[in-house]
A and B are shown apart, each in its own frame.
Chain A
Amino acid sequence: MSASPPIALDELELDALTELVNLGISQAAHSLAEMAREEVTLTVPQVRMVPRDEAIRIISEREPSKLVAVHQVFRGDITGRALLIFPEAQSFELVRAVVGGDMPLDEIIELEQEALAETGNIMLNGCLATIANHLQRSLTISLPEILHGESREFFDLEPPPPPGDLVMFIYINFALRHRDINGYIAMLLDMPSMTALKALLKAYIGRVAGDVLAG
């Protein structure tokens, strides 16, 4: 077992974060459904805070094949990277699901990068913007970048993260046009951002629960 994270979220803070992620992903699903003109079904996202090595281990154990990731950097009170990761084998499925099934393969291949970037952008921005709005903070979010490789490479991007960094690890499963696509959203936060996030969640809980909190 790895050491427990230095800054842990308490139960209610993790609950609040999960609710925010849920709101964000639902928003993203709505946008995807409009793009695809089809209902997108989602599982409830599972949110965990884990050390970086554990995130790498979880993904490589569950997904032995090559992976593809959409990567975006966000800056503000909370600074970090967000990655939407799924098995490379599913990336065509995802593109087909978003653009429609009857497109020839060569056109799908041509569209792959663009469609992945766009889908990733919608999912990640949906999460990040919703979280930022509810925490009453603003974030600047970089353009999406597509990465191919293994999970360790995704978590070791330049500049190298300091040891002890935590990963907000979100497991999601979504289905579109009867295709099951499972993926992960990982957000890497440095220690100052983690401290800031904890304080912002505490304030958010205060706003949402108000007088109920005291009781």
Chain B
Amino acid sequence: MKTVSRYTILIVDDSKLARMAVNKALNTLYPEWERLEAANAEEAVAAVKQAAPDVALLDFNMPGRDGLELAAELREANPKMAVAVVSANRQQQIVDRTSAAGATFLAKPITEAALGQFLKAVVQDRESRA
């Protein structure tokens, strides 16, 4: 077996509780994945440059830069990374801008089912290209 199954995921959210909620879901879904956390855009940029994660979950509503602006910046640094923008703000314009940016929209609060579906798609996409 290839060890391709061990992915690195970056969780970006200014709320510690929101990051804990994602960690809880990951404990069930993909406990073996390596996790990185960032509480703001600067930490996220640094993490992407340093560790080149496979997947990033970005909170939309953060102080400073919003999740979509950050998505564009992180993609530039790491074009292969899959990105989901997580937001409680389900306005159509935001959902549209998310898909235009090549990212997946995930509604907040994030559910294990929705996160599982997104990550499964990421894994399948990666493995089909491997």
Instruction: Quote the shortest CB–CB distance from A21 to chain B (angstroms).
Output: 10
- Excluding A23-B88, A26-B89, 6 further A-B contacts by CB distance (< 8 Å) are A22-B15, A26-B90, A30-B89, A42-B89, A44-B61, A44-B63
Q: Is residue A29 contacting chain B, with contact meaning CB distance below 8 A?
A: yes
> CA of A206 to CA of B14 in the docked complex: distance in angstroms?
19
User: For chain A residues 17-42, which have a beta carbon within 8 Å of chain B?
Assistant: 18-19, 22-23, 26-27, 29-30, 33, 39-40, 42
- How many residues of chain B have a CB within 8 Å of chain A? 22
> CA of A212 to CA of B28 in the docked complex: distance in angstroms?
11
> CA of A33 to CA of B23 in the docked complex: distance in angstroms?
32
B61/A27 in contact, CB under 8 A: no
Q: A-side binding surface: helix, strand, loop or mixed? A: helix
A44/B14 in contact, CB under 8 A: yes
Top 10 closest A-B pairs, CB basis?
A: A26-B88, A209-B20, A26-B89, A39-B93, A23-B88, A212-B20, A212-B23, A210-B24, A208-B21, A212-B24
Task: Decide: A209 near B89, CB < 8 A? Known: A44-B61, A44-B62.
Answer: no
A22/B17 in contact, CB under 8 A: no
Instruction: Quote the shortest CB–CB distance from A135 to chain B (angstroms).
Output: 13
Residue interface bits B87-100, CB-to-A below 8 A is 1, else 0 = 11111011000000
Partner of A15, one of B17, B61, B63: B17
- How many residues of chain A have a CB within 8 Å of chain B? 26
> CA of A109 to CA of B37 in the docked complex: distance in angstroms?
50
Q: Closest residue of chain B to A204, judged by CB?
A: B17
Instruction: Quote the shortest CB–CB distance from A204 to chain B (angstroms).
Output: 9
List of B residues within 8 angstroms of A44 by Cβ? 14, 61-63
Q: Is residue B79 contacting chain A, with contact meaning CB distance below 8 A?
A: no
List of A residues within 8 angstroms of B72 by Cβ? none
A12/B88 in contact, CB under 8 A: no
List of B residues within 8 angstroms of A19 by Cβ? 15, 17-18, 109
B61/A26 in contact, CB under 8 A: yes
